Protein backbone atom coordinates (compact mmCIF):
# COMPACT_ATOMS: atom_id res chain seq x y z
CA UNK A 1 0.00 0.00 0.00
CA UNK A 2 2.72 2.45 -1.00
CA UNK A 3 4.45 2.36 2.39
CA UNK A 4 1.45 3.57 4.39
CA UNK A 5 0.49 1.69 7.54
CA UNK A 6 -2.79 -0.17 7.60
CA UNK A 7 -4.97 0.58 10.60
CA UNK A 8 -7.46 -1.97 11.83
CA UNK A 9 -10.34 -0.89 14.05
CA UNK A 10 -12.85 -3.11 15.74
CA UNK A 11 -16.47 -2.21 15.10
CA UNK A 12 -18.62 -1.23 18.05
CA UNK A 13 -20.91 -4.04 19.13
CA UNK A 14 -24.36 -3.00 17.85
CA UNK A 15 -26.24 -4.23 20.91
CA UNK A 16 -23.83 -3.05 23.61
CA UNK A 17 -24.59 -0.65 26.43
CA UNK A 18 -22.39 1.23 28.86
CA UNK A 19 -23.63 1.09 32.44
CA UNK A 20 -22.43 3.83 34.79
CA UNK A 21 -22.79 4.46 38.54
CA UNK A 22 -22.37 0.78 39.32
CA UNK A 23 -22.50 -0.04 43.02
CA UNK A 24 -19.17 -0.67 44.69
CA UNK A 25 -19.87 -4.38 45.03
CA UNK A 26 -21.11 -5.07 41.50
CA UNK A 27 -19.59 -8.06 39.73
CA UNK A 28 -19.78 -9.41 36.20
CA UNK A 29 -22.33 -11.94 37.40
CA UNK A 30 -24.53 -9.35 39.13
CA UNK A 31 -24.41 -7.17 36.03
CA UNK A 32 -25.43 -10.11 33.84
CA UNK A 33 -28.20 -11.14 36.23
CA UNK A 34 -29.54 -7.59 36.45
CA UNK A 35 -29.71 -7.04 32.70
CA UNK A 36 -30.86 -10.54 31.69
CA UNK A 37 -34.42 -9.39 32.52
CA UNK A 38 -34.30 -7.36 29.28
CA UNK A 39 -33.07 -10.14 27.01
CA UNK A 40 -30.32 -12.66 26.40
CA UNK A 41 -26.84 -11.45 27.37
CA UNK A 42 -23.77 -12.23 25.32
CA UNK A 43 -21.31 -10.69 27.80
CA UNK A 44 -21.39 -8.50 30.91
CA UNK A 45 -18.20 -6.97 32.30
CA UNK A 46 -17.49 -4.62 35.19
CA UNK A 47 -14.62 -2.40 34.08
CA UNK A 48 -11.65 -2.31 36.45
CA UNK A 49 -8.60 -0.05 36.62
CA UNK A 50 -5.00 -1.22 36.29
CA UNK A 51 -5.05 -2.39 39.91
CA UNK A 52 -8.21 -4.44 39.52
CA UNK A 53 -10.50 -2.02 41.35
CA UNK A 54 -13.92 -1.36 39.80
CA UNK A 55 -14.30 1.98 38.03
CA UNK A 56 -18.06 2.22 38.51
CA UNK A 57 -18.66 1.43 34.84
CA UNK A 58 -19.57 -1.71 32.98
CA UNK A 59 -20.42 -3.04 29.55
CA UNK A 60 -23.41 -5.23 28.73
CA UNK A 61 -23.56 -6.85 25.30
CA UNK A 62 -26.94 -8.27 24.34
CA UNK A 63 -27.47 -10.87 21.63
CA UNK A 64 -30.04 -8.61 19.94
CA UNK A 65 -30.56 -4.90 19.39
CA UNK A 66 -34.22 -4.98 20.55
CA UNK A 67 -33.10 -6.31 23.96
CA UNK A 68 -30.50 -3.55 24.24
CA UNK A 69 -33.09 -0.94 23.24
CA UNK A 70 -35.53 -2.30 25.83
CA UNK A 71 -32.89 -2.06 28.58
CA UNK A 72 -31.91 1.45 27.48
CA UNK A 73 -35.52 2.67 27.40
CA UNK A 74 -36.55 1.09 30.71
CA UNK A 75 -33.45 2.31 32.55
CA UNK A 76 -33.83 5.80 31.09
CA UNK A 77 -37.49 6.01 32.11
CA UNK A 78 -37.07 4.55 35.60
CA UNK A 79 -34.55 4.32 38.41
CA UNK A 80 -32.90 0.90 38.04
CA UNK A 81 -31.14 -0.12 41.25
CA UNK A 82 -28.75 -3.07 41.32
CA UNK A 83 -28.24 -3.31 45.08
CA UNK A 84 -29.80 -2.03 48.30
CA UNK A 85 -27.96 1.26 47.88
CA UNK A 86 -30.54 3.61 46.30
CA UNK A 87 -28.33 5.06 43.57
CA UNK A 88 -29.67 4.14 40.14
CA UNK A 89 -27.40 3.07 37.32
CA UNK A 90 -27.32 5.09 34.13
CA UNK A 91 -27.36 3.29 30.81
CA UNK A 92 -26.13 4.61 27.48
CA UNK A 93 -25.43 3.13 24.07
CA UNK A 94 -21.81 2.05 23.98
CA UNK A 95 -19.56 4.27 21.91
CA UNK A 96 -16.05 3.27 21.06
CA UNK A 97 -13.52 5.88 20.10
CA UNK A 98 -10.06 5.49 18.68
CA UNK A 99 -7.74 6.43 21.53
CA UNK A 100 -5.12 7.81 19.17
CA UNK A 101 -7.49 10.15 17.38
CA UNK A 102 -9.56 11.15 20.39
CA UNK A 103 -13.03 12.66 19.94
CA UNK A 104 -13.33 14.91 16.89
CA UNK A 105 -15.79 17.80 17.11
CA UNK A 106 -17.95 16.31 14.36
CA UNK A 107 -18.78 13.36 16.64
CA UNK A 108 -19.79 15.49 19.63
CA UNK A 109 -23.54 15.38 20.28
CA UNK A 110 -24.66 18.96 19.74
CA UNK A 111 -27.73 18.96 21.99
CA UNK A 112 -29.08 21.73 24.23
CA UNK A 113 -26.55 20.94 26.99
CA UNK A 114 -23.70 21.16 24.45
CA UNK A 115 -24.77 24.66 23.42
CA UNK A 116 -25.19 25.74 27.05
CA UNK A 117 -21.71 24.44 27.94
CA UNK A 118 -20.12 26.08 24.90
CA UNK A 119 -21.58 29.56 25.52
CA UNK A 120 -18.36 30.48 27.31
CA UNK A 121 -14.94 29.98 25.75
CA UNK A 122 -12.04 28.35 27.62
CA UNK A 123 -10.85 30.73 30.33
CA UNK A 124 -9.43 31.13 33.81
CA UNK A 125 -12.03 31.83 36.48
CA UNK A 126 -11.71 35.26 38.07
CA UNK A 127 -10.51 35.05 41.71
CA UNK A 128 -13.28 35.93 44.14
CA UNK A 129 -16.10 34.93 41.76
CA UNK A 130 -18.58 32.11 42.43
CA UNK A 131 -17.14 30.30 39.41
CA UNK A 132 -13.66 30.50 40.92
CA UNK A 133 -14.76 29.23 44.34
CA UNK A 134 -16.67 26.34 42.75
CA UNK A 135 -13.71 25.42 40.54
CA UNK A 136 -11.32 25.53 43.48
CA UNK A 137 -13.54 23.08 45.39
CA UNK A 138 -13.31 20.67 42.46
CA UNK A 139 -9.54 21.11 42.29
CA UNK A 140 -9.22 20.42 46.01
CA UNK A 141 -11.41 17.32 45.65
CA UNK A 142 -9.35 16.02 42.72
CA UNK A 143 -6.14 16.58 44.68
CA UNK A 144 -7.61 14.75 47.68
CA UNK A 145 -8.63 11.84 45.42
CA UNK A 146 -5.13 11.71 43.95
CA UNK A 147 -3.56 11.60 47.41
CA UNK A 148 -6.01 8.94 48.55
CA UNK A 149 -5.16 6.82 45.52
CA UNK A 150 -1.51 6.82 46.53
CA UNK A 151 -2.35 6.02 50.14
CA UNK A 152 -5.28 3.73 49.28
CA UNK A 153 -7.88 6.10 50.73
CA UNK A 154 -11.51 5.37 51.37
CA UNK A 155 -13.96 5.49 48.46
CA UNK A 156 -16.78 6.69 50.73
CA UNK A 157 -14.94 9.89 51.65
CA UNK A 158 -14.44 10.67 47.98
CA UNK A 159 -18.05 10.05 47.00
CA UNK A 160 -19.44 12.08 49.90
CA UNK A 161 -17.21 15.00 48.93
CA UNK A 162 -18.37 14.68 45.31
CA UNK A 163 -21.99 14.70 46.47
CA UNK A 164 -21.41 17.88 48.48
CA UNK A 165 -19.97 19.62 45.45
CA UNK A 166 -22.55 18.27 43.00
CA UNK A 167 -25.42 19.49 45.20
CA UNK A 168 -24.21 23.04 44.58
CA UNK A 169 -24.39 22.38 40.84
CA UNK A 170 -28.14 21.68 41.00
**CA 52 centroid distance within chain:** 17
Query: How far from 32 is each of 36, 73, 78, 130, 139, CA to CA, in Å?
Result: 6, 18, 19, 44, 36
Q: For residue 46, with 0-12 CB atoms within 10 Å meaning exposed, 13-18 middle and 19 or more buried, which class applies? A: buried
Pairing of strands 54-62, 90-93: unpaired
Confidence at residue 39, expressed as pLDDT on a 0 to 100 scale: 96
What is the model's pLDDT at position 100? 46
Identify the helix (H) or strand (E) that includes residue 37.
Answer: none
Digitized pLDDT (tens) for each residue of the chain, 170 residues in all:
577 777 655 555 689 999 998 877 888 889 998 999 999 999 999 888 877 778 889 999 999 999 999 999 988 888 888 887 778 888 999 876 544 454 456 665 778 887 777 776 665 567 788 877 887 787 788 678 878 877 765 555 556 666 666 655 44
Give the span between the Cα atoms of 143 and 132, in whole angstroms: 16
**So what CATH class is 16-96?**
alpha beta
pLDDT at 112: 86
Please give the pLDDT value at position 98. 47
Closest CA to 82 of 35, 15, 17, 47: 35
CA distance 5 to 91: 36
- Give the pLDDT of residue 66: 96
- Going from N- to C-terminal start, the domains of the chain cover 16-96, 116-169
Amino acid sequence: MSGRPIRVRFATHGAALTVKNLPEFASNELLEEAFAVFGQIERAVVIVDDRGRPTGKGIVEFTSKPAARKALDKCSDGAYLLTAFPRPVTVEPMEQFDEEEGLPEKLVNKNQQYHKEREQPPRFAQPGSFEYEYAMRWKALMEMEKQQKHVGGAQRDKSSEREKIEVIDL
